[in-house]
Each structure stands twice: as structure tokens, then as C-alpha cells.
A and B are shown apart, each in its own frame.
Chain A
Amino acid sequence: MGPRLPLMLKDAGLTAFVAAALGIFIVGFRTVDQGGGKGLGFDYHLVDLAVAVVVIFIGRLGLSMAANGLRWPAIVLGVAMIAAGASPMKLPSGFLHWFVALGGVLLVIRAIWPWANDALGAAARTPSGVILGKAGAKWFGWLLLAFAVLMPFSPLADQKTMDLGVLILTYVMLGWGLNIVVGLAGLLDLGYVAFYAVGAYAYALLSTQYGLGFWTVLPLAGMMAALFGIMLGFPVLRLRGDYLAIVTLGFGEIIRLVLLNWFDLTNGPAGIGSIPGPTLFGAVFAETPPPGKQTVSEMLGIAFDGNHRLIFLYYIILGLALITNLFTQRMRRLPVGRAWEALREDETACQALGINPTNTKLTAFAIGAMFAGFAGSFFAAKQRFISPESFVFIESAIILAIVVLGGMGSQIGVVLAAVLLIGLPEWFRDLGNYRMLAFGLAMVLIMVFKPRGLVSHREPSIRLHPAGSGGGG
């Protein structure tokens, strides 16, 4: 360890130096309007920067120690950082407390990682571990489903939780829909939110202009989105993966810009309001019935409760999401589903074997778009107000991140990732922009450390040589 230490110090020093160079202007000099026509001035944050650079130095040193087998010193450094972050010591900003403490937590995790990994690996290798692992994966999904079905009746179900549940399920559904495109067919779609927007605007316009109900429009919206998927997909699906990504991004932006600027149809940035909610056998969820309609509480003879609408919405989106999942599971066993997975693995080989790549990709694209359309019209019915603001690129990126984080192609992974990426940040809403900063960094870290996602279950449905006897996954 002796001769390594200078090297580690040098490396940590270099990292700290780069961090200082990165931060000096953007963080160190915050431009603020001085008012009174004096233009911009500075609000100096150089002390914050200095503290952060010191923390980065220590953190980097700890990381190299952990990587070189010096686990205990790394743990000591990590614990010291946590203590410093949690202490009442006065740092220039609240963010720095978090920064130091979180850095410490990461460092400790990194240091004990090899032990945890060894222990888990050893457990998984024992016969009972293998059985437990398999059974766990099988039952976990059913447990989650049971929890999701029973959740509205549990004491947990206050309004906030229900709202969050609906939100998470919407993203689960979108994730499953995009999973068909990205996970199964291997097409990187950065404009998925465009189809979501098509579904939402289809319902909003058809219901407010022509008085059609939610259940009539739902299939129409799905078909419309699928049609858009085919129209957009047909010319571009011949392109290579990363070109396709950029083109879909371009299409997504075009649709958003059109929604923003086609004032006569979409009411532009002001959006469309007073969209009717979904009905239950023609009955509406309201305290007093609108003329000619019946409320659900009247129909069922129960007292009105504002939560009923939320519970109803919750079950609609749960049902829609489960349909998406079931559909995908079945498709994977059909020839076209197998062709998707084969295309993902090797397009040129598929072509040589007589699979028409454009048509195969087009089905994946259209089906993915259809589910986004369903989810979109649900979104419009839930929000009762939509505007182009809801369909920006970042939404596509979030849905993509859910799929990627879940391990592309894994259905249960999408659920876990949606809970993680939507649920957790929603609880920490006060964090504001730090949330998105962490989100972006998480995307990078996942790609670097676990590129196959958290669950990493990306098995092709069928393979020539069963897993374990050669061949990659």
C-alpha cells in the first residue's frame, strides 16, 4: 500500500483540480440581475466551490482506496463525510450538507460492495439459493399485483398516495408500451411522448368538440396513435439505431411544435380545459349530476366521496397497464414477437433469414404507439386539462429511463424502475431541480455500472442453446 498512496493522492488531486475548473465559473460566479438598469452582477459562491472541491478530493481518494483493497480506510473516510454532512457545522449552503453526506454514503457502499457481492453470490450458488431466487422472481410479480389491486382499500390510501399510485401506474403503462419498441425490438425511440400527446389530444378534442365519451374514444385514440406510429415509422425505420433515435426525437418535437402553434385546433399554449372524466356505465363522478346524467353515487346508492373518482381512475389505469403487459407477454410468444427479439440481436442476420425488418419493426412501433395513445387519453381524462407543456422531450427521456433502468425487455423491471424514478422523486418534490440533476446523473451511472438495468432480465423468449450452455444474453 505504501507506494500506491502517492499515486492515489495524485489522482485525487487531479480529479479535484478538474472539478474546480468545471465549477469555477458556472458555480463560483452566479450571475444575478442587480436591478436599476445596472445589468448583471455576481453573487459569489467560491467558498461553496472550495468546500465541494475538498469533498471531491476526499471522495475520490476514498474510492481509489476501496478499489485497491483498502476497505477500512475508505469506510472511515465515508463515515467521516457522513458525520460532517449531518453535523450542525455551518457549511455555506444546505446543498453542501447533502452533497457531503450523500458522497459519504456512496463511498461506504462502494467500500462494502465486494463483501455484499461475495455474500450474495455465495448465497445464490447454494441449491436452496437457486430455488429461492427462481421462486422469488416468480412470486414477486404476483405479490406486487396483489398489492396494487388491494392498495385502494388499505389504510395507506389517502389522496396523496392514490394520486401517486395513478401517476406511477401511468408511467408503468408507458414503460411497458415503450418496452415493446426499445426492449423487444431494440429501436431507440426518443419521441415516444408524441404518441402519448396524440392520444391525449384525440380524447380532449373528440370529447369537448363532439361530446364523445371516454370509453368510445379510448380505442379510437389508440388507433389514431398507432396510425401516427405507422405514418412516422414507415419512412424512418430503415435507418440505423442512433439515426432512428434522432429522427424520432425530431418527430416528437415537430408534433409538440404543431400542437403549440396550430391555434385553431389545439388552442395553442393555453391548452384544452374542462375535459370530461371517464364514466362508469354512463354515470359521472360528481357531487351534483349534470343535466341528463346520473352520478355514480346515485346509481350505486352510496354517499358521495371525492375519493371514488380517484379509486375509479386508479383501477382504469391498472387495468390498462395489465392489458399492456398481458399483450406483450403473449406477443413475445408469437412469430412476430420472436422476430422482434431476433432483430434486436442481429438485424443483418435476420434479413438474410427472410424476415422483413421494416414490417417487423413497424408492428412494434405501431403497437408501442397504440399503448401510448391509450395512456394519453387516460391522462387527458384524469387531468381534465392538457397543454403542449405536458409533452416535452424530457417526458420521453423519463419513460426511456424507466425502460433502461428496468433492464430493457424486462416487464417487472419497468415496474420497479417506475416506482423508483417516479415514486421516490414525487415524495421528494421539494428538491425541485436537484431531482432532475440526480435523474440525469443516475442515467449515466446506470449505463456505466449496470448497463443491463437493475433487474437485468433480458432473456430472449426462445434460444437455440438454452441459457448457460454458451451464447450471450
Chain B
Amino acid sequence: MAYFTQQLINAITLGAIYGLIAIGYTMVYGIIGMINFAHGEVFMIGAFISLIGFIICGSLGISSAPIAIVLVLLLAMSFSAVYGWAIERTAYRPLRGSFRLAPLISAIGVSIALQNYVQLAQGARPKPGGQVVSGGFNLFTADGFDVRVTWLQIIIVLVTVVLMAGFTWVIARTSLGRQQRACEQDMKMAALLGVNVDRTISLTFVLGAALAAVAGMLFLMYYGVIDFFIGFLAGIKAFTAAVLGGIGSLPGAMLGGLLIGLIEVFWAGYFSSEYKDVAAFAILVLVLIFRPSGLLGKPEIEKV
């Protein structure tokens, strides 16, 4: 029981990170119907900017962890958002109206380019860092096994919940959210009614990238080491989460993230850690085969 609880806590933490990335996939898919394959790389870049931010904070002598975290968070979110904007502007916008697979192929190109760009600029070695929060407390002890919650895990879940709530509010209540939903329903009609479609899509990418950057920062703090390749796996898993929850649905992305976190952690904890990535991929394949609209998604009807 103690072991189970411990795994559950770890899984929720991991699931929160996947959920944050998954939101970016799900929003972009909802609005323009493309899989933003480069989203995982934005997450990776967010993690790198956070790493650099933490080192800068360290050299400026900012020793208080909360201040450092908030500063780095803002830094990573704003500069990764520029990446999201630039990717959409250069690699996807010119392709609107091209044949259906064109944006996906372009996205793969962006993904390869960004990976090698970071590898060239920052080196291929894994980079340690970002461990500004340590310690935790024992929740309870059973069967001689301490169930431990670290402060970091609490921060991760807290940050995720706050961002999720804020985000749901943006989508539901603000004019930007209304424009996004309008574009999702019918882009041409929205444009006719005065919604600036290009701007709305750009902002969707910006928001998604900012959330991915948060996930990147949390990932760095949680694992303490990153390299230029983390975006690929994390991206695929987050995409799986988005599909599992029902692509296009915000709560679905969060639920999917949690489920993927649970599956991965419990698989590694109870079966074998070698095959935990296989489990994630297998889930992706199974969901797409048996329930392509996901848990909370709406079925899609394709017309000629």
C-alpha cells in the first residue's frame, strides 16, 4: 500500500508535466487541425532557457528559491513563446491551404532543425542543473516504507493546477478565448465576423509554447538533468496524452496527461522500466485504433 501510494504521488507529478505539454498539442489541433510535431522541441527549449535562467540567477546571487523560480518561469515562458510564434509564422502559416500532410512534414523539419540547433549551440552532453528546491516530508510510514512527498512535487502540482485554472478561464471567459473557439468551429465564418484569424492562431501557438516552457522548467527541476533530445519522447507522450483525453479538449489533455503519467510510473514500478516507453506507445496505438476520439473528445465526421 505504501509503495502504491508513493508511486501514485510520483505519477501525478509526472502526469502534470505531460498534461501541460499536451495542452499545446490539443489547442493547436483543435484550431487548425494539425499535429504540431515541433511542440516537444519547444518544451526542450523551454527547459534549456530555464537551465540558463537558473545559472544566471545563481551568478546574480539570487538565493531565494521562490524568487528564482518565478523569475525563471517568466523568462522561460516569454522567450519560448517567441519560438512558438516564430515557428507558426515561418513554417506553418505559409502552408495553410496546401495539401493536408504538408504542415506535418514541415513540422518534422522544424523538429529536426531545432534539435540540431540546440545541440550545436549548447552541446550534446546532458546538462545538470535547476535543483533549487530540495527536501520534503514524510506523509506516513507503513510496512517499513516511508511515503514521501517532496516540496518540489507540491510545487509542480500547484503550478500546474494554477495554470490550468487560468487557462480554462482564458478560453471560457476572455475575448481571446471566444475568438479561439470561433476559429475552431469555422475559420472562414469567424474571419467574416471580424475575428483576426491569423492573430488568434498565432496567440494559440504562443500560449501553447509558454505552457510547454513551464513544463520544461518543471521537468528540469524534477529530473535535474536535460539534453537536446528530451523533446522527442516527451512530445510523443504528451501527444499520446492529448489523444487519449480526446484531442481538442482541454480537460481531456489534463486527464490524458495524468493517465499517461500513471501508466508510465506504474509500469516502471511494477513491471520493467525498460519497456515503459513501449507501454506509452502501445497506449497511443490502442487508443487510436479503438477510440480515436479519445475519452472526452467528440467524434469527428469527415466530409468530402
Q: Select the stretch in B200-208, B253-261, B279-287 that faces chain A.
A: B279-287
**B79 engages A447 (CB within 8 Å):** no
Assess the B113–A33 pair: CB atoms within 8 A. no
| B239: A residues at CB distance < 8 A | 246
Q: Majority SS of interface residues in chain A?
A: helix
Residue pair A448, B288 in contact (C-beta under 8 Å): no
> Which residues of A lie under 8 Å from residue B236 when comparing CB positions?
246, 249-250, 253
- The interface stretch among B141-149, B153-161, B176-184, B270-278 is B270-278
Closest Cβ neighbor of B233 among chain A residues: A253
**How many A-B contacts if CB must be within 8 Å?**
188
Q: Mark A94-118, 1 if CB is under 8 A from B, else 0.
A: 0000000000000000000000000
Q: Is the CB of B100 within 8 A of A241?
A: yes
Residue of B51, B98, B115, B120 near A451 (CB, 8 A) is B98
In the assembled complex, the CB of B47 is this many whole angstroms from the nearest CB of chain A, namely: 11
Nearest neighbor of B49 in chain A, beta-carbon distance: A25
How many A residues, CB 8 Å from partner? 62
B-side contacts of A348, CB under 8 Å: 302-304
In whole angstroms, how far apart are the Cα atoms of A119 and B300 in the complex? 48
Would A434 and B284 count as touching, CB distance under 8 A? no
B112 touches A436 (CB 8 A): yes
Residues in B whose Cβ lies below 8 Å from that of A349: 304
Report the minimal beta-carbon distance from A416 to chain B, rounded to whole angstroms.
Answer: 18
Q: Does A443 contact B106, Cβ atoms closer than 8 Å?
A: yes
A141 touches B (CB below 8 Å):
no
Q: Does A333 have its Cβ within 8 Å of any Cβ on chain B?
A: no
Contacts of B120 in A (CB 8 A): 433-434, 437
Contact call A440/B114, Cβ cutoff below 8 A: yes
Q: How many residues of B contact A (CB 8 A)?
A: 69
Give the most central of B111, B118, B274, B281: most A CB within 10 Å: B281
- Set of chain B residues within 8 Å of A21, measured between Cβ atoms: 79, 82
Contact of A22 among B82, B111, B123, B129 (CB under 8 A): B82
Give bound CA distance, A437 to B129, whole Å. 26
Given A257-B277, A440-B116; A397-B285 close (CB under 8 Å):
no
Q: How far is the CB of B35 from chain A (nearest CB, A)?
A: 5
Q: Answer yes or no: A32 CB below 8 A from chain B CBs.
A: yes
The 3 tightest CB contacts between A and B, nearest first, are: A443-B109, A440-B113, A440-B112
Q: A31-B51, A40-B51 are in contact. List 9 more A-B contacts (CB 8 A).
A: A25-B52, A26-B122, A31-B123, A39-B129, A247-B288, A250-B282, A257-B274, A444-B110, A448-B95
Q: What are 19 contact pairs spanning A and B, CB under 8 A?
A: A18-B82, A22-B86, A26-B52, A26-B121, A186-B101, A242-B35, A250-B282, A257-B274, A257-B275, A401-B109, A434-B116, A437-B113, A440-B108, A440-B110, A440-B116, A441-B113, A442-B109, A444-B90, A444-B91
